[in-house]
Amino acid sequence: MTRGHDITIEQTGPHVRVVRDGQVLAESRRAVTLRETGCPVRYYLPPEDVRMDLLTPSDTRTHCPFKGDARYWSVPGGADIAWAYPDPKPAVTAIAHHLCFYDTELL
């Protein structure tokens, strides 16, 4: 990373659940924990642990100089609630294709 900006990734994260309007969108014991300077801890879940049938791809795209280009997913009544880095920068390849949600519950 760059001076003053660090990202650390732990391969074994906590048991994570994502619930919206009473519907479980994702649940994983294989979450990857990402800690980044100046940002909240984020949990990236493998797509196999996400109810992709409940998510709709969004047109939103963003760029992070440290992680790369992200794409987003939405649910009815909730725009861009999840994102992933399909082709992340080399320093963070552990999060490739994993989805991250704004609201997660640790179990």
**Per residue in 15-64, pLDDT tens?**
999 999 999 999 999 999 999 999 999 999 999 999 999 999 999 999 99
Task: Report which of 25, 81, 18 is spatially closest to residue 54, judged by C-alpha positions.
Answer: 25
Q: What is the pTM of this model?
A: 0.92
* Pairing label, strands 7-10, 16-20: unpaired
Query: Which pLDDT score, from 0 to 100, does residue 12 have?
Result: 76
CA angle (42, 47, 53) in 5-degree steps: 115
103: pLDDT strictly greater than 90? no
pLDDT digits (tens, 9 = 90+) for 79-99: 999 999 999 999 999 999 999
Residue 93: its pLDDT value, please? Answer: 96
Q: Indicate the class that CATH gives domain 7-106.
A: mainly beta
